[in-house]
Structure 1
């Protein structure tokens, strides 16, 4: 997950540097809001790691919602970037933080601590790239 997000971020930043992608004002506005909302959803590593599994998962799902809402408001390269990011983070949607209590879980699985950290790091990287898009 982290590797895919890193590759997406590098590609977006390279396209902006090369001016192959010059984000429109509307795209920069959407990117700015998404960057701020992602930062609010997933805080610094020590803060996130101190949370319960339920809260960490809730914050990751909130970040996915931020990305989905941003995606709904854009077209072109920013939409492609956000769509690929949401796809890379899709495993979060299959995670559960509560015990199954011998019942069906609809395929949900408990993530490891490392998986939480990897997803949170990926969100932070996306936030950074969206801030770069805002400044383009």
Structure 2
């Protein structure tokens, strides 16, 4: 899931060039609100991994609710981005934390520990990306997500443990994120 969200973020970053996808003030506010909702739902890795699977799964389902509600509140590029992020995280909906008699779980499966970790990592990355996307210009013209605006060292982390890099890691094989019926 993290790889899908990373690819989605790369695609969004390439479109957010000032001509293809121009975020208006309302979109910036909504992106920041979604980021805050994701951070509230899925905390730092150490805290999440200490929780029982049923609580971790509940938090991941809350993420999907945050994304769905935000998607319903907007249109255009941000709505498409949030919907695609929801799609990347959709396997969470097929997971269960309780035991079930074979054939009585409607196809829901127990997630592997690495699957939970991957989903939570994807949410943290998505929250960081949306935080940067929702950052507005400071009165002096600097981006509020720039290293010089966060801390003297330029290496600021939010209290939730999210790093705030100024750029995405390089893509070893640039490929667009395709939706249903594309490609």
TM range (shorter): over 0.9
The residue aligned with 2:93 is: 93
The residue aligned with 1:9 is: 9
1:74 aligns with 2:83: no
Larger Rg: 2
Hey, what's the Cα distance between the residues in 1 that align with 2:74 and 2:36? 17
How far apart are 1:81 and its partner, in Å?
0.4
Measured against aligned partners, the alpha-carbon deviations of 1:97-117 in whole angstroms (never above 9, x if no partner) come to 000045600110000000000
The residue aligned with 1:39 is: 39
Helix, strand or coil: the match of 1:110?
coil
1:122 aligns with 2:113: no
The residue aligned with 2:30 is: 30
How far apart are 1:14 and its partner, in Å?
2.7
TM-score under structure 2 normalisation? 0.71
Which structure shows the bigger proportion of residues in helix conformation?
1
Measured against aligned partners, the alpha-carbon deviations of 1:74-132 in whole angstroms (never above 9, x if no partner) come to 11100110111111111000000000045600110000000000000110111011112
Runs of 4+ in 1 over 2 A off after TM superposition: 13-16
Aligned residues: 135
TM-score under structure 1 normalisation? 0.94
Hey, what's the Cα distance between the residues in 2 that align with 1:131 and 1:14? 17
The residue aligned with 2:106 is: 106
